[in-house]
Amino acid sequence: MKRIKKAGRIALSVFALSLAAYVSEAQVGIGTMLPQERLHVHNGALLGTSDAVGPQNSPYSQEQDPIEFKMKWFQDKSAVRFLGERVGQTGLDKASIGNYSFASGFEVSASGEACSAFGIRTFAGTRGSFASGQEAMAVGSSSFAHGVNVKAIGHHNVAMGSQVETNGYSGCFIFGDNSGGSTKSLTDNQMMMRFSGGYRLYTNNNSSLGLVMGPGGSSWSVISDQNKKENFVPVNGEDFLQKISTMKLSSWNYKGQDPKTFRHYGPMAQDFYAAFGKDMHGIIGSDTTINQADFDGVNLIAIQALIHRMERINTDLRAELATIRQELATVKASAPGNEQASAK
């Protein structure tokens, strides 16, 4: 037992000497404003710093200033910073630290309450805001900015991608591609998107149904490839014309909209569905919506039926006209004056 106690005291002494040597080498300091140490505690805050390093450590290769790395826990703000920045910058200035905020990256700032900033020179400046990426800015309550040179300025906004800005409006979603363009919101509560490669919206799991707007397009195209269709059934255009002729058509506005500025023309979904909502295979559309592709299809069928009807009428009229001409020629030939002329 004595040998065990002695061995324990020896081990404790070795551990204490090792710790003292480590502390001496690591330079842990407490209670100093100008520490020479790499890790120290001051006024309840934990601070870690590095020596200055060369400008090659900056994310911006064109800059020539030396860089230093810092970490600090602000106990009286419940805030944390993990920063790299040029020597002389004030990323740890207490006045610019938001309560309950978090920031990590190169020269990032989170000055709003409970906000976060990540990446390279991003800024979150208002309560609950979030900025990440490179040179992204979120200034507005609960606004979100992610990407390159994006700005969610205004309350409750989302800005994502590249070179987009909510422009001080609120309640906006704005997204931008990497084409080099620049796009800004134009009003409150607006969704705006810029994608020079076009848009595709699919409504099934194998991406064969939906809508397409190609590069440079200005309207949606319905996916209508014959190879993606089946169960073809011919239709009677004259039946369609008859149904259209009895359909109630009017002008109207949606409830809740100002009738002075929001008026429309067209049928009711219930009437359209009653006329064209079924074929021999199943249901087409619903009694509360009108599918634009079906609407266009009905119009084309009706136009084709009118063309065929006019062709038939034109054929009948030509035949009738030829008969009339023949009869007139016969009458003219049999007139008295014509008989004498024929005898001479």
Phi, psi of 252, rounded to the nearest 5 degrees? -170, 175
> pLDDT value at position 50?
82
> pLDDT value at position 11?
47
Contact 115, 101 (CB under 8 A): yes
pLDDT in tens, the chain (344 residues): 555 455 445 544 544 444 444 444 445 555 555 555 566 676 677 888 888 888 888 888 888 899 999 999 998 999 999 999 999 898 999 999 999 999 999 999 999 999 999 999 999 999 999 999 999 999 999 999 999 999 999 999 999 999 999 999 999 999 999 999 899 999 999 999 999 999 999 999 988 899 999 999 999 999 899 999 999 999 999 999 999 999 999 999 999 999 999 999 999 999 999 999 999 999 999 999 999 999 999 999 999 999 999 999 999 999 999 999 999 998 888 888 766 555 55
Can you tell me the distance from the alpha carbon of 59 to that of 69, in angstroms, rounded to the nearest whole number? Answer: 13
> pLDDT value at position 15?
45
Burial of residue 137 (CB within 10 Å: 0-12, 13-18, 19+) is: buried
Q: By C-alpha distance, which of 246, 241, 202, 245 is closest to 220?
A: 202
Model pTM? 0.76
The 3-class SS string of the chain reads CHHHHHHHHHHHHHHHHHHHHHHHHHCEEECCCCCCCCEEEECCEEEEECCCECHHHCCCCCCCCCEEEEEEEECCCCEEEEEEEECCCCCCCHHHCCCCCEEEEECCEECCCCCEEEEECCEECCCCCEEEEECCEEECCCCEEEEECCEEECCCCEEEEECEECCCCCCCEEEECCCCCCEECCCCCCEEEECCCCEEEECCCCCCCEEEECCCCCCCEECCCHHHCCCCCCCCHHHHHHHHHHCCCEEECCCCCCCCCCCEEECCHHHHHHHHCECCCCECCCCCCCCHHHHHHHHHHHHHHHHHHHHHHHHHHHHHHHHHHHHHHHHHHCCHHHHHHHHC
Can you tell me the distance from the alpha carbon of 184 to that of 141, in angstroms, rounded to the nearest whole number? Answer: 19
Q: How many CB atoms lie within 10 A of CB 280?
A: 6
Question: Per-domain residue ranges for the chain?
Answer: 31-196, 197-229, 231-344
Q: Which residues contact 301 (CB under 8 A, 6 or more apart)?
A: 235, 237, 240
> pLDDT value at position 19?
44
Contact 165, 159 (CB under 8 A): yes
The reply to whether CATH 1.10.10 applies to domain 231-344 is: yes
Whole-Å CA distances, 312 to 119, 284, 305, 307: 73, 31, 11, 9
> pLDDT value at position 2?
56
CA count, 13 A, side-chain hemisphere, 96: 14
> pLDDT value at position 47?
81
> pLDDT value at position 39?
66
